Every structure is written in C-alpha cells, then in structure tokens.
C-alpha cells in the first residue's frame, strides 16, 4: 500500500469462539473506528492486507469486532497484535488552520531565529495539550508544547516547516 497511513488501533485479543476480536481503538470516541474504511491490517512490518466490511460494537470495557473471513477462535487468534491503519486520504477534510498529527510528522521545526530544532518525530497528549517531539541530527530530543500562538507560531505544510517560539538550548 503506497501513500501515507494513519494508525487507528490494534487487535488485542479474541472474544468467544466465533472469530470475534477485541480491539484497542485510538479514535475518539473509540467506536468511531468503525466509521473509517477500508482498514489496512498490518500483521508483519510493512505488509498490509486491505479489509472491507469490519463490523463491531462496544462492550463493557472494550470494543468487539468481526472481520469477513474470520469465522473461528483460531483464525482470530492469528490476528492478535495486528495493527489497524487507514489510508490518510480516508480522513475527512479539516478546516483551514487545522491539521492531523500525521501531517505534522516529519516536518522541520525551526525557531524565530531560524535555528533548526529537528524534525517532528511524533506527538502525544499530556492531558493538558499535545506535545511535539522533535529529534535533530545529533539525536537530541525536544518536547515542545503544541499550543498555537504561544509556542507554535506557524505551520506551513507546503514548505514542510513548523515555526515555534522555543530556544534551541531548551
């Protein structure tokens, strides 16, 4: 599968004897994972299988899904650990000035003085806001709060750059 992908969840167990799967969903709300199509199952690194027709529901503490062609517990057990992706193009369009985290990964980060702070490795949520994790060529990692107009001054996807208000020595 060529093109950018977005990780939505993973298969964490089996449910019952008829091939149902326990899913850990990274979407919000968690059952929104079923609204995205097609799923791309990654069982081995960089080997994807397209799945159409995944169905499921929430159940007490988790999500249970059924996949076409998975009819028994043994077949379901073989999928444990598989990651669930979708093509980036399957995500809804955003309003101007909004970005998906996946679109920010790999962008160059510079401060107002033009100093290179590395590339965005990934983002995570610390409970108060998202945090940009950058890595420079020397391997130094920086954690920069993703707070627009405070630390994040501009995002230019076309230029592949994020400008931040952050000291290179922080």
Buried b / exposed e over 113-149, threshold 16 CB at 10 Å, is eeeebbbbeeeeeeeeeebbbbbeeeeeebebebeee
Q: What does CATH list as the number for 5-89?
A: 2.40.30.60
**Longest CA–CA separation in the chain, Å:** 61
What confidence tens digit (pLDDT) does each residue in 94-139 have? 898 888 888 999 999 999 999 999 999 999 989 899 999 999 999 9
Tens digit of each residue's pLDDT (9 = 90 or more) over 14-49: 999 999 999 999 988 999 999 999 999 999 887 899
- Rounded Cα distance between 84 and 141, Å, is 28
- Tally of CA atoms within 13 A in the half-sphere of 112 that contains its CB: 8
Q: Which fold has domain 101-164?
A: SH3 type barrels. (2.30.30)
Domain ranges in the chain are 5-89, 101-164
């Amino acid at each position: 599968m060529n093109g950018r992908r977005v990780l939505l969840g993973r298969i964490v167990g089996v449910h019952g004897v008829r091939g149902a799967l326990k899913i850990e969903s990274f979407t919000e709300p968690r059952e929104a994972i079923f609204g995205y199509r097609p799923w791309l199952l990654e069982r081995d690194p960089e080997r994807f299988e397209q799945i159409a027709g995944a169905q499921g529901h929430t159940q007490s503490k988790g999500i249970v899904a059924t996949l076409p062609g998975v009819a028994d517990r043994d077949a379901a057990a073989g999928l444990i650990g598989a990651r669930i992706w979708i093509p980036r193009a399957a995500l809804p369009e955003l309003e101007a000035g909004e970005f998906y985290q996946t679109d920010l990964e790999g962008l160059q980060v510079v401060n107002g003085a033009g100093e290179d702070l590395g590339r965005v490795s990934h983002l995570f949520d610390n409970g108060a806001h998202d945090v940009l994790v950058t890595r420079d060529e020397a391997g130094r990692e920086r954690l920069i709060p993703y707070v627009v107009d405070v630390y994040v001054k501009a995002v230019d996807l076309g230029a592949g750059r994020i400008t931040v208000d952050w000291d290179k020595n922080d």
